[in-house]
């Protein structure tokens, strides 16, 4: 039984590592794009108001999947929604696994342990609050992981001089307050932002300090991921051997 489970665990580990690296790389390339191509720079927290200049694999994959809604036995498959749901489920599993593995600590002081059939009710309440806060923080990071897809979905901006050619949407052409919700937009007036993009874009424009802190914390998250990946992948393996 152990020999059968070992290849399966290795395959699951490789898939999880690939998903994590894909998310981190997409966040990294978006931060580089914001750093080099943001016109307002430090004053607005490196907010990018134009289309991305560099290839973002996760963003591009979601946009390609959103343009191909295949049918399977008369059932329409929304591939982008399915893949997006897989990312959210993967993040939720990582959060739960991390809390169970580490426990609930406060600056190195262990407060609660998460054990099977031996967890205090107070610990479950704290875990529920932590999961909600972490998922809320991840919803903010979606703007860094897949900025164009989360902001505009599969929308395209049609040029006024050429009806057959489309451009990628950007915040310059995006409409936030100049239209009524629930009504179809007239072609040529801009792209409609999603609700989550409207919320965070308004916050970033109103409170530039929030956008700056959000940007710096994204770099801190990338640095922590790389540091712990090197530690567990190399130094800890050498120590255990």
Q: How far is 139 from 125, CA to CA, in rounded Å? A: 21
What is the average per-residue pLDDT within 173-189?
46
% the chain with pLDDT above 90:
8
Please state the rounded mean pLDDT for residues 12-36: 89
- End-to-end Cα separation, the chain, in angstroms: 25
Query: Is position 51 within any domain?
Result: no
Q: Quote the crossing angle between the two packed helices 2-37 and 79-102, to the nearest 10°.
A: 110
Is the pLDDT assigned to residue 162 strictly greater than 70?
A: no
Q: Examine the domain organization and report whether 176 and 83 are in the same domain.
A: no
- Residue 35: closest CA among 212, 224, 226: 212
What is the rounded CA–CA span in Å between residue 11 and residue 18?
11
Q: Indicate the SS3 state at residue 73.
A: coil
pLDDT band of residue 44 (cuts 50, 70, 90) is confident
Asked if residue 222 belongs to a domain, the reply is yes
Same structural domain for residues 130 and 198? yes
CA 229 to CA 241: how far, in whole Å? 18
Do 98 and 62 fall into the same domain?
Answer: yes
- Residue 160 banded pLDDT, cuts 50, 70, 90: low
| Pairwise CA distance, residues 162 & 105, whole Å | 59
Range of the domain at 21: 2-43+57-152+194-240
State whether 77 and 164 are in the same domain.
no
Q: Tell me if 54 sits within 8 A of 45, measured CB to CB.
A: no
Which tokens in the block code for residue 170?
A: 């950007």
Whether 185 is covered by a domain: the verdict is yes
Statement to judge: residues 18 and 72 lie in one domain: yes
Q: At what angle do helices 2-37 and 208-230 cross, to 10 degrees?
A: 140
Element (H, E) at 214: helix 208-230
Domain total of the chain = 2
Average pLDDT rounded to a whole number, residues 153-166: 63
Strand partners, 104: 112
Residue 101 has pLDDT above 60, yes or no: yes
In this predicted structure, the answer to whether residue 173 has a pLDDT above a threshold of 50 is yes
Spell 55-86 as b/e; 16+ CB within 10 A means b. Answer: ebebbebbbebbeeeeeeeeeeeebbeeebee
Looking at the fold, whether 108 and 185 belong to one and the same domain comes out as no
The reply to whether 85 and 166 lie within a common domain is: no
Looking at residue 222, its pLDDT comes to 93
pLDDT confidence bin for 241, thresholds 50/70/90: very low
- 66-80 pLDDT tens trace: 776 555 554 555 778
Beta bridge partners of 193: none
Mean pLDDT to the nearest integer, 17-31 = 91
d(CA 153, CA 169): 9
Please name the helix (run of DSSP H) or strand (run of DSSP E) that holds residue 180, with its range, or none.
none
User: Are residues 188 and 204 located together in one domain of the fold?
Assistant: no
pLDDT at 169: 77
């Amino acid at each position: 039984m152990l020999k059968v489970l070992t290849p399966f665990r290795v395959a699951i580990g490789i898939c999880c590592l690939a998903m994590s690296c894909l998310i981190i790389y997409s966040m990294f390339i978006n931060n580089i794009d914001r750093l080099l191509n943001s016109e307002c720079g430090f004053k607005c927290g490196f907010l990018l108001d134009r289309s991305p200049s560099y290839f973002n694999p996760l963003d591009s994959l979601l946009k390609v999947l959103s343009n191909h809604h295949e049918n399977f036995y008369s059932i329409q498959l929304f591939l982008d929604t399915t893949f997006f749901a897989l990312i959210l489920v993967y993040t939720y599993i990582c959060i739960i696994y991390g809390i169970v593995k580490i426990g609930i600590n406060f600056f190195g002081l262990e407060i609660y342990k998460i054990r099977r059939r031996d967890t205090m009710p107070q610990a479950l309440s704290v875990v529920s609050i932590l999961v909600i806060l972490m998922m809320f923080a991840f919803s903010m990071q979606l703007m860094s992981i897949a900025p164009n897809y989360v902001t505009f979905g599969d929308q395209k901006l049609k040029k006024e001089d050429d009806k057959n050619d489309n451009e990628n949407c950007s915040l310059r052409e995006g409409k936030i307050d100049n239209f009524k919700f629930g009504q179809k937009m007239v072609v040529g007036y801009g792209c409609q932002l999603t609700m989550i993009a409207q919320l965070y874009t308004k916050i970033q424009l109103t409170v530039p300090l929030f956008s700056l802190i959000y940007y710096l914390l994204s770099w801190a998250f990338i640095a922590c991921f790389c540091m712990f990946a090197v530690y567990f992948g190399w130094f800890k393996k050498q120590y255990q051997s």
